[in-house]
Amino acid sequence: YYVEDPPGVPEDASRAVIARYARGEDYHDVVKDKLVSLARWLDTKIDSKLHARAYVDTGPILERDLAQRAGLGWFGKNTMLINPQRGSYFFLGLLLLDIELPSDEPFAEDHCGTCQACLDACPTGALLGRDGSGAPIIDARRCISYLTIELRGPIPVELRPLMGNRVYGCDICQEVCPVNRKAAASQEPAFKKRHDFDAPELLPLLEMDDEGFRARFRDSPIKRTKLVGMQRNVCVALGNIGDPVAIPALARALRESDTLVRGHAAWALGRIGGPQTASTLQSALASEHDNEVRKEIEASLADMAVPATGG
């Protein structure tokens, strides 16, 4: 599914960075359709009726372990399955069958060696090397992919500045992997990047409504974050940029959005700073009733050395 970054990304801080796997159609549907087609083909090649079930991240199946046992690659220090020819920019699917098939030899070698490019590059320090058995270790609670997609609550304050302008997933540990220097651009039409998923501007993402979010990301894995999660992530990105042009949009989010978004908007405004921001935060504090949001506002005012005079 590899696609090139557009010019200026991720350096252009006004634009959001979305993980490559989510820049096309939803891989769950695309890969599952291919597995179902494969099952139908297999059914024409045997005498009895074939029973099959396809999984693509949709059941309690350890796809990576089975892929390693099937000889497809090894577990890199970034926890990804890495194929020596294709790198790690690929999806895994599984087809359960009720017929016996010849098995391949497991992939036994570890090609990472002494390289720890991914460990050194991870902004949040989520990658922790290997344990005594050689298995890669990750603190998923620090992984940007987890923070921007799976985490439903507030992003830990100490990790927010490390996320940059990444609002959905992260490819850093794959981008620095030497094996991925060979990665070829995807030839699958469904995985070709869409213009509006490539590197969208941050401010319009913050100002979307629920209907607009569902329409824009209907056939994309990005819909998993839901609108609230995306807006939370965008607030963090805008805070990291620190551009005062975002103040009006963040001020509206501080007044009108879900409590989760309001809290992160307060943090972002505190990062931008300035008299206009201080006034906005004090005004919001006077009318805010949610304790967690109030704490975010008070912390931002404290960081700016401004008295928390509201309410």
Instruction: Return d(Cα 114, Cα 64) in angstroms, integer.
Output: 22
CB 192 within 8 A of CB 24: yes
CB crowding 173-197: b at 16 or more within 10 Å, else e: bbbbbebbeebeebeeebbebeeeb
SS3 of 85-120: CCECCCCCCEEEECCCCCCCCCCCCCCCCCCCHHHH
Catalytic residue among 43, 57, 219, 243: 57
d(CA 304, CA 286): 18
Contact 51, 97 (CB under 8 A): yes
Is 57 tagged catalytic? yes
Peptide bond into 204 cis (omega under 30): no
Q: What residues are labeled active site?
A: 57
